[in-house]
Amino acid sequence: MKITDARVIVTCPGRNFVTLKIVTDDGVTGVGDATLNGRELAVAAYLTEHVVPVLIGRDPMRIEDIWQYLYRGAYWRRGPVTMSAIAAVDTALWDIKGKVAGLPVYQLLGGRSREGVTVYGHANGDTVDDAMTEVSRYLSLGYKAVRVQTGVPGLATTYGVSKDKLFYEPADAAIPTEAVWSTQRYLSHVPSVFARAREEFGPSVKLLHDVHHRLTPIEAARLGKALEPYELTWLEDPVPAELQEGFRLIRQHTTTPLAVGEVFNTIYDAQQLIDYIRTTVVHAGGITHLRRIFDLAALYHVRSGSHGATDLSPVCMSAALHVDISIPNFGLQEYMRHTAETDEVFPHGYRFDDGYLYPSEEPGLGVDIDETAAARYPYRPASLPVNRLEDGTLHNW
């Protein structure tokens, strides 16, 4: 069996997605997500210029060898662009192998370790009242876990809080928009949000919160302590994660669990001083590398909590579910729904029921790209916003 073609497809059904489709001489095809929010064309060029030419003629069954070839052979290792490109190839090859074997990919990964994949959704609102209405909506859909974000009194906008509900896209303009941030206002507001959520919804719902890397370690320690009475399942990205020592300080002060890693791209970024690791298929080298990260995490009692915002396409979500259902140390999966246009471009077989997602039972990943539909949505430049403090200082992030 040989790879005869590999197409890089860029489409924007509401937001930009980059997808790799690998074609073999047997007619079997596989798909992989290569989307890197705000930097989509860098990955598309990496694939087109440097990866596709070396794939043609290779045996698609040699997933591990091709992964090592792309990682070690390039000399320049790691980084989000490289690792997203490698991820797309790896994911497409697992899809092909599943189709050849006649099995859903999770069967090739050892089979089910659980019945369904517990997911969390995003409740967001400008006011605490609005956010509580959104929490109720998720609970009525059967969700067992909800992330809660609200506007901060005195700040005009807050990242992660949008007018759109169930799904939204933070990359909103070709040139990044700028927002004003105040740590003081934020820290004095957030505990009241979770006091209210516990009062209204009781002790059993899992509640989560994302800080989007905006605090220093000592500020994060203070927030973690203040949130302890509300028993969060996790506090996400409290600080920028480059300085791992910061997490030691936070943990010395609080028992609020920490979830980190949506911007990590290799096992060398992974660390022991957290509770949930948020790496996912597309940004961390595909199924092959993600499984290695999760195996390392298991040694340190760290569970998976993969990123699953709208910029991770249904191709990534399909692949993530095959990993989630099979690994021993699964924790939670983020699930932000996609627009109807995105679902049309990426027909997929995973399904949501009563708070759980279930991977497709079709051979392979159970997802494809409709290239005719994709062609109707041309690329539109879009960047993530930037934060400044009230005095104009460019903030952490």
What residues make contact with ligand CS2 under the rule CB under 6 A? 37, 160, 170, 210, 212, 262, 307, 309, 311, 334
Q: Which of 122, 189, 209, 212 is catalytic?
A: 212
- Which residue lies nearer to ligand CS2 by CB, 101 or 180? 180
Q: Which of 46, 159, 168, 335 is catalytic?
A: 159
Say if residues 13 and 342 touch (Cβ distance below 8 Å). Answer: yes
Task: Describe the crossing of helices 286-299 and 63-72 by its angle, rounded to 10 degrees.
Answer: 90
Q: Is 147 exposed, middle or buried (0-12, 13-18, 19+ CB in 10 A)?
A: buried
The residues that bridge with 389 in the sheet, in sequence order, are 181
- Which residue lies nearer to Mg ion by CB, 83 or 105? 83
Say if residues 11 and 19 touch (Cβ distance below 8 Å). Answer: yes
- Which residue lies nearer to Mg ion by CB, 60 or 305? 305
Q: Does 311 bind Mg ion (CB under 5 A)?
A: no
Minimum distance from CB of 100 to ligand CS2 (Å)? 33
Minimum distance from CB of 241 to Mg ion (Å)? 11
Minimum distance from CB of 43 to ligand CS2 (Å)? 13
- Which residue lies nearer to Mg ion by CB, 210 or 324? 210
Catalytic, 159? Answer yes
- Which residue lies nearer to Mg ion by CB, 259 or 367? 259
Per partner kind, with CB cut-offs from 5 to 8 A, the member of ligand CS2, Mg ion, none near residue 309 is: ligand CS2
Minimum distance from CB of 37 to ligand CS2 (Å)? 3
- Among residue numbers 71 through 130, which ones bind Mg ion (CB under 5 A)? none
Catalytic, 122? Answer no
Task: Describe the crossing of helices 80-101 and 63-72 by its angle, rounded to 10 degrees.
Answer: 170
Q: How far apart are CA 291 and CA 280, in angstroms?
A: 10
Q: Does 210 bind Mg ion (CB under 5 A)?
A: yes
In the chain, the amino acid numbered 183 is T
Per partner kind, with CB cut-offs from 5 to 8 A, the member of Mg ion, ligand CS2, none near residue 385 is: none
Q: Is 15 exposed, middle or buried (0-12, 13-18, 19+ CB in 10 A)?
A: buried
Minimum distance from CB of 343 to ligand CS2 (Å)? 18
First to last CA, the chain: 45
Q: Does 169 bind Mg ion (CB under 5 A)?
A: no
- Which residue lies nearer to Mg ion by CB, 276 or 377? 276
- Which residue lies nearer to ligand CS2 by CB, 11 or 149? 149
Minimum distance from CB of 305 to Mg ion (Å)? 10
Say if residues 351 and 367 touch (Cβ distance below 8 Å). Answer: no
Each residue 39-78 as x (binds Mg ion by CB under 5 A) or -, in order, gives ----------------------------------------
Per partner kind, with CB cut-offs from 5 to 8 A, the member of ligand CS2, Mg ion, none near residue 362 is: none
Per partner kind, with CB cut-offs from 5 to 8 A, the member of Mg ion, ligand CS2, none near residue 37 is: ligand CS2
Minimum distance from CB of 240 to Mg ion (Å)? 12
- Interaction site with Mg ion (CB under 5 A): 210
Q: Which residues are catalytic?
A: 159, 212
